Amino acid sequence: SYMALMKTAVIPEFFARLKQAMPEPETELEYENHFHLLVAVVLSAQATDIGVNRATGPLFKAVKTPAEMVALGERKLIDHIKTIGLFRTKAKNVIALSQLLIERHGGEVPRDHAALQDLPGVGRKTANVVMNVAFGEATIAVDTHIFRVGNRTGLAPGRNPLQVELKLLKRVPEEYRLHAHHWLILHGRYTCKARTPMCPNCVVADLCTFRGKTTLAV
């Protein structure tokens, strides 16, 4: 069931408060270059950023480029990432996308949404993260946290991630769009949690239309 829609008039205040609480939000994935970022985001599907960072620490010391990833090969890549969910499929995709980056894009990560989505293992969400974090485009990638926060708060209710994304692009004021997805992810990860949202600790609780607010301070 949909939440009541958050009033459009309070949305700037909603983001102003999140910005005040987290002035410089960043992805929690660790990377040194655009290729690392792309690989880390592909690996992060259905995995935690902490778990991905643990695996990519040693991997990214050894591998800096698509050519070095292809040279490493699938078997050795699996050794690096086998603590991450779906590691076999992800290893296959990372090697394949590395080959395509070499063949089609001179070994560089393309600054192009469609070209990114043509890479194996790269869906709309991954392409949006790369466009936002690497290239500073005001895209909004909807992960489980953003999907939940968009629906629960009434900010951007939708039945699926694409509906939530399109509603956010319409409703988030332009000045907040660049960092919106980081603010919403961090808010969902640390405050507006899946099982028990920490409403008493929340800086936007009075703007949110969620009817099941928790009352115990944690």
Q: CA 121, CA 148: separation in Å to the nearest integer?
A: 23
Closest Cα to residue 130, out of 35, 205, 46? 35
Handedness of CA 185, 189, 190, 194 (dihedral sign): positive
What's the gap between Cα 45 and its chain centre? 9
Helix, strand, or coil here: 178?
A: helix
Tokens of 86: 């779906």
Q: CA 42, CA 123: separation in Å to the nearest integer?
A: 9
Q: CA 40, CA 57: separation in Å to the nearest integer?
A: 10
Q: CA 15, CA 53: separation in Å to the nearest integer?
A: 28
Tokens of 87: 């590691």
Any idea which residues carry the catalytic annotation? 125, 143
